């Protein structure tokens, strides 16, 4: 469960997030929809504790996220998968992440299987396609078996098989009782993906309802 109350973020003159309040419930896929620049990534970074709000409060499972001793076990995130530029192999990258976070190495093999990285895990990340980078980023997010998961634009740029795969994965994670927040700037991506939608524009909340309600014009 994620709870935002009056979250505001300013970067100098730019009001990136403007008094945002919403809840993300477990057991559902919640879409976070808004045009580019609406404030989705900033909000996700704040939920993750990578950025501090200028004002307002974020609670993850009832506590401020910074209170967690073992972040990877509480919240997993896929942010900008294109940004993994490592000379390591996929498996090597995941092993470093596991070691750094005190997670058992068997989790590396489990997530490699879970995301279907398979043979690619022993190849260098440099040669990965976007689809493989997405899978690797998702594997890293799943490493700590977290109850809360954030995915920033995971569907963007994938082919049809990739889109189907991500949708199935999100559904399984939600059915498992996890809290799943997934951002997109395209309604067409979200209508078959999300149970609920939190829609924002210019940092402000525009709608917070079921996907069906929003498709039917509320
Ligand atoms: P989205 O993810 O919806 O595309 P962002 O959260 O990336 O939106 O950006 C929201 C607004 O905040 C944009 O106007 C963006 O330019 C601005 N912004 C985001 N990060 C920074 C930063 N580190 N410094 C200054 N402005 C930023
Ligand atoms: P997409 O995920 O975008 O559908 P594919 O995974 O089908 O793309 O791969 C696109 C190209 O990238 C192919 O030429 C494939 O051989 C290459 N490729 C895919 N995965 C790897 C990898 N792990 N290492 C090196 N090349 C790869």
130 CB under 6 A from ligand 2? Answer: yes
Report the distance separating Cα 163 and Cα 160, nearest Å.
5
Distance from the alpha carbon of residue 153 to the mean position of ligand 1, in angstroms: 14
pLDDT of residue 43: 97
pLDDT of residue 105: 96
Determine whether 100 is exposed, middle or buried from the number of CB atoms within 10 Å of its CB (0-12, 13-18, 19+). Answer: exposed
pLDDT of residue 217: 85
Closest Cα to atom 18 of ligand 1? 16
34 CB under 6 A from ligand 1? Answer: yes
Closest Cα to atom 27 of ligand 2? 128
Residues 10-38, mean pLDDT to the nearest whole number: 97
Nearest residue to 50 (alpha-carbon basis) of 37, 41, 59, 38: 41
Would you say residue 68 has pLDDT above 60?
Answer: no
Report the distance separating Cα 150 and Cα 4, nearest Å.
14
Q: How confident is the model at residue 83 (pLDDT cuts 50, 70, 90)?
A: low
Of ligand 2's listed atoms, the one at least distance from the Cα of 127 is 25
- Of residues 86 and 92, the one with the higher pLDDT is 92
Report the distance separating Cα 211 and Cα 24, nearest Å.
14
Average pLDDT, the chain: 92
31 CB under 6 A from ligand 1? Answer: no
**Both ends of the chain: CA-CA distance in Å?**
24
Lowest model confidence (mean pLDDT) among 37-46, 64-73, 74-83, 209-218: 64-73
Which ligand minimizes its atom distance to the CA of 43? 1
């Amino acid at each position: 469960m994620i709870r935002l109350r009056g979250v505001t973020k300013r970067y100098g003159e730019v009001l990136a997030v403007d008094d945002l309040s919403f809840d993300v419930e477990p057991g559902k896929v919640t879409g976070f929809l808004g045009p580019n620049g609406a404030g989705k990534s900033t909000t996700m970074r704040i939920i993750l504790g990578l950025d501090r709000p200028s004002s307002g409060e974020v609670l993850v499972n009832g506590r401020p996220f910074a209170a967690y001793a073992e972040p990877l076990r509480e919240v997993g995130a896929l942010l900008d998968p294109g940004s993994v530029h490592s000379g390591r192999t996929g498996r090597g990258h995941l092993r470093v992440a596991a070691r750094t976070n005190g997670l058992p190495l068997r989790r590396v093999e489990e997530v490699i299987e879970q995301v279907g990285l398979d043979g690619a895990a022993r190849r260098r990340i440099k040669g990965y396609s976007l689809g493989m980078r997405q899978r690797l980023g998702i594997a890293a997010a799943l490493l700590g078996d977290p109850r809360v998961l954030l995915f920033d634009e995971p569907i963007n740029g994938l082919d049809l098989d990739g889109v189907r795969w991500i949708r199935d994965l999100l559904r399984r994670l939600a059915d498992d009782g996890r809290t799943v927040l997934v951002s997109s700037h395209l309604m067409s991506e979200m209508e078959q993906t999300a149970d609920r939608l939190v829609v924002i524009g210019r940092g402000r909340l525009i709608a917070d309802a079921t996907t069906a309600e929003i498709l039917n014009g509320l």
